[in-house]
Structure 1
Amino acid sequence: MKAAVRRSYGEPSGVRIEEVPAPTPGAKQVLVRVHATAVTAADARIRGANFPRGYGLIARTLFGLRRPRQPILGGVASGVVEAVGSRVEGFAVGDVVCGTTGLGLGCHAELAVLPAKKLVHKPDAVSHEQAAGVLFGGSTALHFIRDVAQVRPGQTVLVNGASGAVGTNAVQLAKHFGAEVTAVASAANATLLKELGADHVVDYALTPVTTLTEKFDVVIDNVGNVGIPTGKRMLTPDGVMILIVGDLSEALRARGNVKGGPSPERAESFTTLLGLVADGTLTVVNQDVLDLEDIAHAHEIVDSGRKVGNLIIKLT
């Protein structure tokens, strides 16, 4: 099968298309022929070993100390079931599905194995490109907005870094749960964010987020440039700060009304998100849909910091 492979940590140019053996599903796994996948900020960090400060050794222990343990990146896939493991229930060959692989990666390929517990049936009303685009950023945004911050009608939510994969979903989900949303992004993305439901858009070039004087019930930092002291200053008395991006020291200090950490990859969340996409409540923002042969370019776009929404790789 064809796959995007990188044998060492480094620049996007190190990602090459190669013929590699197809994977075999374990007892609780499903083999999926990938129709669409995404190149995410997580993929770019792992590829370049560009981890937040303090996480370098921890991350290399997980992904490979000197070279990548798993040469094929990609944690999201939408496609068709080719084979199921001996202990898998609820999925059969030919089912149209989507899901994630967690630390297993491997989705930037024609075939990928996914844990059955992180796989769901894809609704007909949702395309493969939409499914691949919504699961990474959408599940993160849903976890922190619905489950952690418990956003409710009448609250005010600030989304810093509102035009990325997590941010575009955070804006829409916060609005869906009844909040008044302020989005911080570049002026070029103001129209998009208004269309997604943002009540106010702040151009960070003219008004740095740290200079805002308003108080918010929820502050979501997708960039990592707010800092805990400033974030707390921006909160209402019962407000919550959400650290989507932060270094190790901030993660260790995330307690009380400051929340952070990884978001779980749950089939229940995927079903919720896909339902919202299917009924038109949630718009999947895909900046571009590229062929597998163009995946190095997708990594370059992510590295530029100017990615809007998601970058999708279409394989069939």
Structure 2
Amino acid sequence: MKVITYRNYGPPEVLKLEEWEIPTPKKDEIRIKNYNTAVNSGDWRIRKADPKLAKLYFGIFKPKKPVLGLSISGVVEAVGENVTKFKIGDKVFGSAGMQMGAYAEYVCIKESSVITILPKEISFPEGAALPFGSLTALDFLQKCNLQKNQTMIIYGASSSVGTATIQLAKHFGIVVTAVCSKGNFQLVKSLGADFVMDYETFFSESHNKKYDVVFECVGKSSITSNLLHLSEGGVLVLVGASFKEMFQAAWISLTKHINIKFGPIAETLENLNFLTELTKKGIFKVVIDRSFRLETMVEAHRYVEAGHKKGNVVIEITK
């Protein structure tokens, strides 16, 4: 089978196409013929070891797990002898989590993973694009204890997490202001944003409004600038916080009693099923920017790392 590996940390060029044996599922695993996966910010940050402290988890001198990829979307081709939840021929999608390994034609994964049946209303590419940004957005929104008609400003609203956050926040009855480049105004409005704002306006002195939730999706604005727009008793969400910002946020939370949410998310099957139902009903839309072939993974990583994608970037594995 075809696999994209990274044997060393570094730029997109460390990604290489290799041929591996098709894996055999263990007793509690299913083997999925992977039709599509996705490239997200987590992938390129792990590839670069950004920040460097990430090497403590992923491998100090070289990657312990040489195959990246969190999102799986395909068909069950084999099952372990103890598997009861899935059968051969099932269309499935979900997240491999920190086990990764989705940059491959076949993936073996425990049946207890965050994997569920792909309904007919959702395509394989949409199934690959759905988990990362949407599960991230939903987990952080749940931590905010939202109340209907609260106000929220979303910085980086055209990103994978941002496009999901807009739709979910609106579903929960929130008044949403989306911050993105002017070229993406139409996109974020189509997803339900009540107000739009470009980055220059966000940082201008004329922007003096405060919000119940400040939701920073892309790690490109400072904690200080975000706190300027946070209402008393509000919640600041830092999706893309660096380790330095996490320590800063923890100190601010402790000393100033400001509610700041950051850190790893909890991916759950319950949340994936919730998102699946919203998507089936047409309430939630999976935003796909571009699609690349598995063999052009280097190009896909370059594009995502540049930071200008709208929503999600999908990888086609099986023709």
C-alpha RMSD of matched pairs (Å): 1.7
Residue 140 of structure 2, aligned match among 140, 144, 151: 144
1:103 corresponds in structure 2 to: 98
- Residue 260 of structure 1 deviates from its aligned partner by 1.1
Counterparts of 2:294 and 2:204, CA distance in 1: 37
Confirm whether residue 178 of structure 1 aligns to residue 180 of structure 2: no
Residue type matched to 1:293 in 2?
E
Counterparts of 1:111 and 1:243, CA distance in 2: 34
Counterparts of 1:166 and 1:224, CA distance in 2: 12
Residue 276 of structure 1, aligned match among 275, 278, 288: 278
Confirm whether residue 265 of structure 1 aligns to residue 267 of structure 2: yes
Contact preservation (8 Å) 2:131, 2:272: yes
Residue type matched to 2:21 in 1?
P
Following superposition of structure 1 onto structure 2, how do residues 86-165 of structure 1 map, counting pairs within 5 Å? Answer: 86-117=81-112, 118-145=114-141, 147-165=142-160
1:301 corresponds in structure 2 to: 303
Contact preservation (8 Å) 1:141, 1:167: yes
Counterparts of 1:155 and 1:207, CA distance in 2: 19
String of CA shifts for 1:73-112, please: whole Å, max 9, x gaps: 1011011112223433211111111111111111011001
Which shifted more, 3-12 or 206-215? 206-215
Residue type matched to 2:24 in 1?
T
- Residue 155 of structure 1 deviates from its aligned partner by 0.8
Contact preservation (8 Å) 1:160, 1:209: no
Contact preservation (8 Å) 1:221, 1:245: yes
How many residue pairs match? The answer is 310
Residue type matched to 1:166 in 2?
V
Counterparts of 1:174 and 1:209, CA distance in 2: 25
Contact preservation (8 Å) 2:73, 2:128: yes
Confirm whether residue 196 of structure 1 aligns to residue 191 of structure 2: yes
Say which SS state the counterpart of residue 5 (structure 1) adopts.
Answer: strand
Residue type matched to 1:2 in 2?
K
Counterparts of 2:206 and 2:276, CA distance in 1: 37
Inter-CA distance 11–209: structure 2 relative to 1 (3 Å threshold): farther
Confirm whether residue 205 of structure 1 aligns to residue 207 of structure 2: no
String of CA shifts for 1:164-223, please: whole Å, max 9, x gaps: 110000011111111110111111111101111111111113443787311111111112
2:66 corresponds in structure 1 to: 71
Contact preservation (8 Å) 2:4, 2:104: yes
Residue type matched to 1:167 in 2?
G
**Normalised by the size of structure 2, how large is the TM-score?**
0.92
Contact preservation (8 Å) 1:155, 1:180: yes
Counterparts of 2:295 and 2:98, CA distance in 1: 24
2:316 corresponds in structure 1 to: 314
Say which SS state the counterpart of residue 192 (structure 1) adopts.
Answer: helix
| 5+ residue gaps, structure 1 | none
Inter-CA distance 64–155: structure 2 relative to 1 (3 Å threshold): same
- Residue 290 of structure 1 deviates from its aligned partner by 1.7
- Residue 226 of structure 1 deviates from its aligned partner by 3.4
Contact preservation (8 Å) 1:138, 1:165: yes
